[in-house]
């Protein structure tokens, strides 16, 4: 029996990446990988990146420089360390990562990490593996369910992705380009995930997505926007909450935001951030006068 191989994942950025990192662990578990807290001891290191913050890609290249030293040391010890870059920076930079950092074996976008076992096999035989195209198939249909032991080891709080991508194309935002267009998961799939987590000790479920308010998956009765109600039903007698990343306010939420903007502290923050910047019409529905208030 072969000893388990060690996997280390370093995630940058948002809750979506924390969730994706856990699903990468679940995907690689059947390949004999177990998590380790130390990159130096790992047989596979994955940098799960985020492209929202300024200089995000430079942080990745800086980390790859440190991992090059660790990979060289592993080679001197007779170990074969593999390095993968996943997430939004991988999607944005693609072949540039391999050109600038030859230490990288695999580059994979956020919609393709369910192909990690095949990409690792390709990298072993061909030297490198790159996949940043948006696949036709839905990755959630190929991701293995987390094992009960893994769920319990992660604690009493968990994330469930209900929606990915955004169709707003706001001037200041790269999400529609890096994370693809809006896709909502069916309510039945969300309920299955929530029940599995709740049955294994999870007491708090956070529904996440790049634009949760844009969720439009259909429930068994054909109605849309049922994700929160379905999750609440599945989590009866347990806590759950809904969170959104880079969330777009729906029309019925704008009145609440307008009331919040009238509070002095928030209004000052908006004015301070706008300054003398020239604002132009935005395809995401944000009006310049809203920033000047």
Range(s) of the domain holding residue 258: 251-292
**Are 119 and 165 contained in the same domain?**
no
The confidence score (pLDDT) of residue 270 equals 35
| 35, 96: one domain | yes
DSSP track, 248-279: PPPHHHHHHHHHHHTSHHHHHHHHHHHTTPPP
Distances (CA, A) of 279 to 172, 264, 283, 292: 11, 22, 12, 9
Give the pLDDT score at 28: 96
pTM equals 0.77
Per the structure, how many domains does the chain have?
3
Reading the block at residue 288, the tokens are 């310049």
Residues in the chain, pLDDT under 50: 226-227, 242-247, 251-257, 260-261, 263-280
Indicate which CATH number applies to the domain containing 81. Answer: 3.40.50.12160
Q: Are residues 18 and 105 in the same domain?
A: yes
Q: For residue 259, which phi and psi values (nearest 5 degrees)? A: -65, -40
Q: Are residues 101 and 28 in the same domain?
A: yes
Contact 87, 112 (CB under 8 A): no
Nearest alpha-carbon partner for 110 in 225, 13, 4, 255: 13
Is residue 137 included in any domain, yes or no?
A: no
Is there a domain that residue 105 lies in? yes
Q: End of a domain among 102, 131, 160?
A: 131
Paired tokens of 253: 């939420």
55's torsion region: left (phi>0), alpha (psi -120 to 50) or beta? left
**Residue 164 near residue 183, CB atoms below 8 Å:** yes
In a domain, 104, yes or no: yes
Q: Are 112 and 16 in the same domain? A: yes
Do both 58 and 12 map to the same domain? yes
For residues 99 and 123, state if they share a domain: yes
Please report whether residue 169 resides in a domain.
yes
Strand order of the β-sheet with 82-87 is 33-35, 5-11, 44-49, 82-87, 106-108, 129-131
Whether residue 216 is found in the same domain as residue 121: no
Q: Left (φ > 0), alpha (ψ -120 to 50) or beta: where does 9 sit?
A: beta
Structural contact between residues 131 and 84, judged by C-beta atoms closer than 8 angstroms: no
* 217 lies in the same domain as 109: no
In a shared domain, residues 13 and 114: yes
Residue 139 lies inside a defined structural domain of this protein: no
pLDDT at 180: 67
Same domain for 63 and 89, yes or no, is yes
- 154 and 84, same structural domain? no
Decide which of 74, 105, 131 is a domain's last residue: 131
Backbone angles phi, psi at 158, to 5 degrees: -150, 155
Q: Does residue 197 contact residue 205 with C-beta atoms inside 8 Å?
A: yes
């Amino acid at each position: 029996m072969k000893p388990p191989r060690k996997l280390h994942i370093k995630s940058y950025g948002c809750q979506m990446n924390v969730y994706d990192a856990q699903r990468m662990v679940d995907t690689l578990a059947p390949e004999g990988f177990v998590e380790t807290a130390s990159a130096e001891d790992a047989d596979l290191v994955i940098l799960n990146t985020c492209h929202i913050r300024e200089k995000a890609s430079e942080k990745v290249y800086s980390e790859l420089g440190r991992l090059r030293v660790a990979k060289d040391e592993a080679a001197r010890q007779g170990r074969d360390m593999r390095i993968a870059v996943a997430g939004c920076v991988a999607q944005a930079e693609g072949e540039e990562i391999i050109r600038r950092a030859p230490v990288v074996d695999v580059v994979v976008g956020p919609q393709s990490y369910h192909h990690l076992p095949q990409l690792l096999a390709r990298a072993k035989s061909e030297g490198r593996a790159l996949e940043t195209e948006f696949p036709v198939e839905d990755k959630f249909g190929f991701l293995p369910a987390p094992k009960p032991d893994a769920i319990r080891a992660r604690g009493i709080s968990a994330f469930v992705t209900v929606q990915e991508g955004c169709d707003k194309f706001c001037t200041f935002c790269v999400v529609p380009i890096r994370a693809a267009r809006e896709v909502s998961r069916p309510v039945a799939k969300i309920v299955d995930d929530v029940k599995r987590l709740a049955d294994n000790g999870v007491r708090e479920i956070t529904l996440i997505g790049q634009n949760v308010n844009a969720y439009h998956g259909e429930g068994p009765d054909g109605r849309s926007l049922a994700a929160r109600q379905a999750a609440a039903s599945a989590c009866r007698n347990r806590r759950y909450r809904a969170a959104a990343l880079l969330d777009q306010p729906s029309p019925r939420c704008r009145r609440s935001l307008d009331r919040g903007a009238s509070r002095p502290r928030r209004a000052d923050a908006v004015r301070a951030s706008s300054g003398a910047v020239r604002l132009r019409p935005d395809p995401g529905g944000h009006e310049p006068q809203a920033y000047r208030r």
